[in-house]
A and B are shown apart, each in its own frame.
Chain A
């Protein structure tokens, strides 16, 4: 299936949801996690072994935005800590911007969404002496940064241990419509939920309430004048 088909599905979903929306509510949450990139798909030694788990800590922040019954919209941002490649002279840095729709069922939250995985690889330049056939030669190293951007599909399940504490596993699918370079990563995370913060709700409420009071005050005066 082509990526544009996902866009169509997503658009239909969101457009229809705007007309069906009944409730509102916010939940700001933040978490820490671990991203395993392409488990089972990368050789990790000289004997052909692969690894089902990799260590790559992540920091996450997101908003759960209720829009209809048990459904919510979740814009999220995930950041990996800056890290070195297998070479300490190579730096790598990842971040994800995600948008998912979630369905709440008892203590579980099932999510489906899309986003971007952005990766920056940087080098410090120079050359390095490496074996080359029967001798050793100087090989140039990367001296700039390169940024790759992948559109990813997200599938996840979250379990609320407590009202404000949850654990979640997300699977990120790269190139889902391709055969050869389709790849999966998964992120396991622990979240703390701040709930419906004043930042997102009460201030806005107060402003609107003030506006409404002003409008109400004006209306009777107008009526008196007209009489």
Chain B
């Protein structure tokens, strides 16, 4: 069931801000319920000034330098592959507006994971060249995020193409933050601050809190130990449980052994 959403999220110029922390990008605080989320990339970009292969590399760096670095989060974003999408993803608007809310365009629903596509719609999506990208979790069931769509401004005059490589990486990373369920942060340290900052190399504490809140790590029995290969999961978890049991058993043996020890020591002096 697709719910109505808050207005789409944009990345533009500096405006005065209030002092708040991380927020959500949807009304129900939805998050993906899998630890690994695949990020697929459409092969429809033509005005970004980079090749599809460059774009893939930039996205990989956005994953590995930002969201996949959080020690306390179980979320792992995995770069998928180049895909060919319907032309609607390149031309149509992200959402049909109803009042202040946004009703996702049913032609652009992402069935699972995150899809990154270029888009040239200037009447609704990119009304200004300074808008670099827009993101909407457009497939939510209850509080579970099923799919998110990230659109990059591909108008001929887009400003994305003029950005440095590190800025492109942080722009994509910011939009990916929206795609996993985070809203904006008005704190300048944060990647989820609503606009670009002079130098952006890492996540800030507010980003870390946000992704940890939505995707908390639960080691050793939870998903924290799960690596990229799904088939290993059961085996890994079972062996960890077994080893933990042996560990606590050995502690029990120690404590029982020690309980008797003072008796022996003092019997000699008695």
Contacts and interface: CB of A to CB of B under 8 A. Distances in A.
B81 to A, nearest CB: 20
B224 A151 contact: yes
B183 A150 contact: no
A200 B61 CA distance: 54
B235 to A, nearest CB: 10
A134 B216 contact: no
**8 tightest A-B contacts by CB?**
A133-B10, A87-B21, A48-B199, A139-B23, A148-B216, A46-B197, A183-B71, A139-B183
B23 A3 contact: no
A140 B29 contact: yes
B194 interface: yes
Given A4-B239, A14-B251, A86 B189 contact: yes
A158 B27 CA distance: 49
A24 B259 CA distance: 10
27 contacts: A3-B240, A4-B236, A4-B239, A46-B193, A50-B202, A65-B258, A67-B254, A85-B209, A87-B21, A87-B187, A88-B19, A121-B212, A123-B213, A131-B184, A131-B186, A132-B10, A133-B9, A133-B11, A136-B15, A137-B6, A142-B24, A146-B216, A150-B72, A150-B224, A174-B71, A175-B224, A204-B259
B129 interface: no
B197 A42 contact: no
Interface string A4-19: 1001101100110110
Contacts of B9: 132-133
Contacts of A41: 69, 202
A13 B15 CA distance: 59
Interface string B8-21: 11111001011111
Interface stretch (B38-46, B82-90, B115-123, B260-268): B260-268
B72 A174 contact: yes
A45 B188 CA distance: 6
A45 B259 CA distance: 54
Contacts of A180: 64, 68-69
A116 B253 CA distance: 22
Given A146-B213, A148-B217, A132 B194 contact: yes
Interface stretch (A162-170, A187-195, A205-213, A217-225): A205-213
A11 B263 contact: no
Nearest to A45: B189
Nearest to B216: A148
A99 B251 CA distance: 10
Q: How large is the interface on B (under 10, 10 to 19, 20 to 34, 35 or more residues)?
A: 35 or more
Contacts of A45: 188-189
Contacts of A4: 236, 239-240, 243
B73 A148 contact: yes
Contacts of A197: none
Nearest to A5: B243
Contacts of A134: 10, 12, 127-128, 131
A109 B49 CA distance: 59
Contacts of B194: 130-133
Nearest to B240: A4
Given A73-B254, A121-B212, A143-B29, A86 B203 contact: no
Contacts of B8: 133
Contacts of A46: 188-189, 193, 197-200
B206 interface: yes
Contacts of A183: 71
B79 interface: no
A87 B189 CA distance: 12
Contacts of A70: none
B20 A11 contact: no
B110 to A, nearest CB: 21
A29 interface: no
B201 A18 contact: no
A104 B18 CA distance: 53
Nearest to B193: A46
A23 to B, nearest CB: 8
A129 interface: yes
A138 B23 CA distance: 9
B199 A175 contact: no
Contact of A128 (B23, B205, B225, B240): B23
Contacts of B199: 46-48
Given A18-B250, A150-B217, A150-B224, A85 B262 contact: no
